[in-house]
Structure 1
Amino acid sequence: MKNIFIVVNLVLVGFLFQTSCMAQTSKKSRFKALVLYENGGHHLPFTTAAKPWLNKLAIDSSFTIDYIENTKTINEALLKKYQVFIQLDYPPYTWSEESMKAFQKYMNDGKGGWIGLHHATLLGEFDGYPMWQWFSDFMGGIQFKDYIPAFANAKVNIEDTSHPIMKGVPASFFVKKEEWYTYNKSPRQNVHVMASVDEATYEPASEIKMGDHPVIWTNPHFAARNVYIFMGHAPELFDSEAYTTLLRNSIFWAAQKK
């Protein structure tokens, strides 16, 4: 009798396990996201914090996420597999001619959405690579000028509280330990600004300022949904509910077509 009881239990456990696996397999992914990230340098701690956060979000929200750490494999065939492309702290240089053209087509044709963080606006001639003029225009016609190397805390003010990516985000929130890039001009005339940093709140104070200093914006002149979020250097950002809400909303918004 005891042996029969054991066998019945084993069969039941096996059945439940198989049923669970089948349910997980049959659960349809809402969309596929591609993440381009930096696997070295001083942005590595941010990447290290971002990946488990993104992985958990993907599991909890039923979407698929794949990672690449350079642009060598980016082409039209790769990008057409994904509904959203996240440029996670990766600069707009070192891209091949093929990868640049594929990304431009992806954005121009509205093939998928895009979220760029922090390093994505490091526009200029760096490490022997020329300026990617299309990307500069995409970001509002800007070029990187300077940054606060010693870091500063500051208050971010939301300008478009009605936008879907701002749902649940407070009208203003503080960001700790950020570099705060400055550009040769404000992109405001060429993009839709959704948030800016209050330079008067820099702590410690800094003379490296822009005046009008947007930090979150979208370029409505492209067929693809897109949003640039400047903040993305320190791993502590993932301790901020305002920031994680903003990033989560951005992913779901960008994954939808216009």
Structure 2
Amino acid sequence: MRIRPLLALAAAAACVGVGVAAPATGEAKPQQEKARVLVFSKTAAFRHDSIPAGVRAIERLGRPAGIAVDTTEDAGAFTDRNLRKYDAVVFMSTTGDVLDEPQERAFERYIQRGGGYLGVHAASDTEYDWPWYGGLVGAYFLDHPGAVNEQFQEATVVVEGPRTKATSALPRFWERTEEWYNFRTNPRPYVRVLATVDEDTYDPRGYTGSEGMGDDHPITWCQRYDGGRSVYTGMGHQVEAYSEPMFLRHLSGALKMASGLASTKHCKVSEPRG
């Protein structure tokens, strides 16, 4: 299992001449470390070429916030003992069936103990046979524009209130180019929608023949789910997104919310589904 600690203890390392590993279960966190997250980027279906850029972005965003970042594509990291080290787990454009049943149960217990989850883009194209996860991410991916129209289009993101850390740095109307996901269901009954995409500003027809989601098309949301924290953004398909200043502000705020370093008081409390 490859897990890379990103926030080293510089002073301690200087004394002993070696790097310092992630703290074991039950150990106190280093003074400068406010939180620790695990970025998980395993794929069992389509693999986005933006995953390395997304992982690096989380690493960069974590440093000034005091968030230590470990990364892995090994599902063996999903054990009760290992997950206790983390304040949040980031699913970075995961796809398909990436966890087996014991790993799924360990992750459920982690969230139930108050852990955090941040899903980025294709995290909603993951674990279709695990209804609890579908509730955690909020909605499953259906399709995106393509085939009869353009896959990547500029559209207007409409930021909703009340503002959270994930949206506080964003304008009310945010123009950007993205692979805009259509979802199988509208998550609004279960989550606090933080932003929608205005279908009047692009062609939402999907490659499966869907007509889009209509007047209410959530693209970013949060919830307090089954005892834990969940934040999801449908954005982040292209490599270029992870050098886009506004998107990075959005991602940084979402990371802080999932890690417990920013408030989720406005996020809807949702019961587990499935």
TM-score (normalizing by structure 1): 0.78
How much is the aligned-residue C-alpha RMSD, in angstroms? 2.8
Match of residue 174 from structure 1: 175
Is the contact made by 1:92 and 1:135 (CA closer than 8 Å) also made in structure 2? no
Question: Gaps (5+ residues) in structure 2?
Answer: 1-9, 21-29, 207-211, 265-274
Find the aligned partners of 1:66 and 1:251 in 2 and give their Cα distance. 14
Q: Deviations over 1:135-170 (max 9, x none)?
A: 122334x44332223232211111124223222222
Q: Deviations over 1:80-114 (max 9, x none)?
A: 0111111111136231111111111111221x211
Match of residue 121 from structure 1: 124
Q: Is 1:108–2:112 an aligned residue pair?
A: yes
Local SS of the residue matching 1:166: coil
Question: Gaps (5+ residues) in structure 1?
Answer: 1-16, 126-130
Q: Deviations over 1:163-190 (max 9, x none)?
A: 2322222212122131x22223211112
**Total equivalences in the alignment:** 231
Q: Deviations over 1:180-216 (max 9, x none)?
A: 22223211112111111111111xx343311121011
Match of residue 57 from structure 1: 61
221, 225, 228: which one aligns with 1:224: 228
| Identical aligned residues as a percent | 25
Cα offset for 1:37?
A: 1.2
Is the contact made by 1:155 and 1:173 (CA closer than 8 Å) also made in structure 2? yes
Q: How does 1:108-187 map to 2 (within 5 A)?
A: 108-110=112-114, 112-122=115-125, 131-140=129-138, 142-149=139-146, 150-178=151-179, 180-187=180-187
Is the contact made by 1:139 and 1:187 (CA closer than 8 Å) also made in structure 2? no
Cα offset for 1:42?
A: 6.0
Q: Is 1:233–2:241 an aligned residue pair?
A: no
Is the contact made by 1:192 and 1:220 (CA closer than 8 Å) also made in structure 2? no
13, 36, 39: which one aligns with 2:40: 36
Structure with a larger share of its residues in helix: 1
